[in-house]
Amino acid sequence: MRGLFISIIFTVLGSLFFIGWGLDTLVEYSTEDKVTETQATTVYQHILDGLSSELSTLKSSKLKDKVEQFKQRYKINTSLASSKKIALPSSLLAELKQQGGLILASSTNQYLLKNIANHPDFLLRIELPVETVEDNNFNFFLTLILYVSICGIFILWLIPLTRRLYLLNNAAAKIGSGQLDARIASSKLSYIKMLEQSFNTMASKIEKLVADNKILARSLSHDIRTPMACLRFGIEAALDSTSIEKKNSYLTRMDNELTRMEEMTSLFLDYASMERQALNLKKKPTNVLSLITSAITDCQVLAKQKNIEVSIIHSDDSFNYQLDYHWCYRAIVNLISNAIGYAEYQVNIQLKVNQNSMTIIVADDGKGISEDKLDIIFNAFVKLDANRTREQGHFGLGLAICSKVMDWHQGNISINNDTQLCGANFSLSFPIH
């Protein structure tokens, strides 16, 4: 919004300055060095002729006293001027000797000049009183020009703003009607770029949230049917059975199904509430190597069960980064446990730090991921291995959670097939500001 405030200030001050300057120039041009003769001017010309004639009969030493006496007596601003200090073209010099003298205008007023016979070194000067002639129509016209010009400039300034606001309103209406992919295209002429960027970010989050909720609802409704059918079958079978052992067997199976439903529902609800978790992140300086080491330690039991060797490669033991420990720990554990599940013999975790980013790489020597699956691997409820069933606790949410955690930290998660271990290579890249 700072750009909007700056543009308003510059528009107001600029319009007032340039319009005022233009009107002043117009007035000055219309009145500059224009000599006007009125009836009062004729009277002063007669006075000038009479006083000049009287002064021509006096000696040079008495001219100044006579002029001062005349000035005091008649309250007319009269003075003597040196003819050598006044430069006039030859065409005007002749008018100094004519009746009424020469009328000239300065930047402040008008005055009369006339030579004094027998005294060529002096000129008689009489200042004409300033006559203020108000032209109400002209003043009204100038005022009208001022306000119309300011209004015109503001209208021109408001056109881009109103257009961007119209586009913003139109996009909001489209999103309200269900067109969640509506966005505002960026423009260099926009005064509200920050607002538009915030709107686009909000729209993207709404679109992603709605899409995740749809997938969540569809997956939950699909996955809950099987355990519900098993529960119904178990209840009917337990009711029809006369053997205590069979009843207990059915009840045990029903208990297992309820436990699985509880785990599945809890995990689904946790994933659905992750957007709210983003508002409560507790970022603090964390030793990244210690974080990775803790995640590896918690995954060692699984690694020993599958006889997988987990090793870490690092170059800096003391590197700290501002992050949320809980969620980053969970993302790293998800990647390591996935790598252990797909690896043949080995999993490598590598920490790389440069001027622009910090990267955590988790690689395994498994079969890797086919190229046509790389674009969907981070979507929720996507399972690439049909052998890893939901009955075993695999719901396809681990990588989706990792992707969300990286979004919260303004980083990104990527995958490629490792060239050294020949398996999947996941990279968590955090920006360094």
pLDDT digits over 355-376, tens only? Answer: 888 999 999 988 888 777 777 7
Render the burial of 316-337: b for 16+ CB within 10 Å, e for the rest.
Answer: eeeeebebbeebbbebbbbbbb
Amino acid 9: pLDDT: 66
Using alpha carbons, list the distances in angstroms from residue 42 to 108, 129, 253, 415: 20, 13, 126, 100
**Which CATH number applies to 281-431?**
3.30.565.10
Using alpha carbons, list the distances in angstroms from residue 384 to 136, 288, 317, 390, 394: 87, 30, 36, 12, 11
User: Can you tell me the mean pLDDT for 32-50?
Assistant: 72
pLDDT over 90, % of the chain = 11
What sections of 2-123 are H helices per DSSP? Answer: 2-31, 39-55, 60-74, 90-93
- The pLDDT confidence band at residue 412, using thresholds 50, 70 and 90, is very high
- The pLDDT confidence band at residue 428, using thresholds 50, 70 and 90, is very high
Q: Which helix or strand (DSSP H or E) is residue 123 part of?
A: strand 119-127
User: Can you tell me the mean pLDDT for 215-229?
Assistant: 70
Amino acid 362: pLDDT: 92
122 contacts 85 by C-beta, under 8 angstroms? no
Distance separating the N- and C-terminal Cα atoms of the chain: 24
Amino acid 41: pLDDT: 83
24 contacts 145 by C-beta, under 8 angstroms? no
Amino acid 132: pLDDT: 57
Chain mean position to CA 21:
34
Amino acid 63: pLDDT: 86
Longest Cα pair distance anywhere in the chain, in angstroms? 157
Instruction: Report the DSSP beta bridge partners of residue 324.
Output: 283
Could you tell me which of 379, 377, 372, 361 has the C-alpha nearest to residue 418? Answer: 361
Amino acid 24: pLDDT: 65
Rounded to the nearest 5°, which phi and psi values hold at 7? -65, -35
User: Can you tell me the mean pLDDT for 321-329?
Assistant: 90
pLDDT over 70, % of the chain = 80
144 contacts 167 by C-beta, under 8 angstroms? no
User: Can you tell me the mean pLDDT for 388-396?
Assistant: 51
Cα–Cα distance for residue pair 119/248, rounded to 1 Å = 144
Could you tell me which of 257, 173, 268 has the C-alpha nearest to residue 219? Answer: 268
Higher pLDDT, 429 or 16: 429
Q: Six-digit token pair at 347?
A: 């999993």
SS3 state at 121: strand
* AA identity, residue 244: I
Amino acid 335: pLDDT: 92
Amino acid 419: pLDDT: 65
Could you tell me which of 220, 222, 236, 226 has the C-alpha nearest to residue 258? Answer: 226
Could you tell me which of 189, 198, 185, 201 has the C-alpha nearest to residue 161? Answer: 189
- The pLDDT confidence band at residue 44, using thresholds 50, 70 and 90, is confident
Higher pLDDT, 134 or 49: 49
Amino acid 66: pLDDT: 87
- The pLDDT confidence band at residue 384, using thresholds 50, 70 and 90, is low
Cα–Cα distance for residue pair 233/250, rounded to 1 Å = 9
User: Can you tell me the mean pLDDT for 170-194?
Assistant: 86
Amino acid 429: pLDDT: 93
Above 70 in pLDDT, residue 156?
yes
Region for 16 from its dihedrals, namely left if φ exceeds 0, alpha if ψ lies in -120 to 50, beta otherwise: alpha
- Residues written for the chain: 433
User: Can you tell me the mean pLDDT for 40-67?
Assistant: 86
Q: Six-digit token pair at 1?
A: 């919004």
Above 60 in pLDDT, residue 388?
no
Above 80 in pLDDT, residue 30?
no
Amino acid 279: pLDDT: 66
Amino acid 90: pLDDT: 77
Mean pLDDT of the chain: 80
Counting other chains too, the contacts that 87-96 makes at CB distance below 8 Å and 24 or more residues apart are 96/123
- The pLDDT confidence band at residue 32, using thresholds 50, 70 and 90, is very low
Cα–Cα distance for residue pair 215/207, rounded to 1 Å = 12
pLDDT digits over 63-118, tens only? Answer: 888 888 888 888 888 988 888 888 788 778 888 888 888 888 877 788 888 888 88
- The pLDDT confidence band at residue 55, using thresholds 50, 70 and 90, is confident
Could you tell me which of 264, 381, 280 has the C-alpha nearest to residue 326? Answer: 280
- The pLDDT confidence band at residue 390, using thresholds 50, 70 and 90, is very low
User: Can you tell me the mean pLDDT for 187-200?
Assistant: 84
Cα–Cα distance for residue pair 44/116, rounded to 1 Å = 16
Above 60 in pLDDT, residue 208?
yes
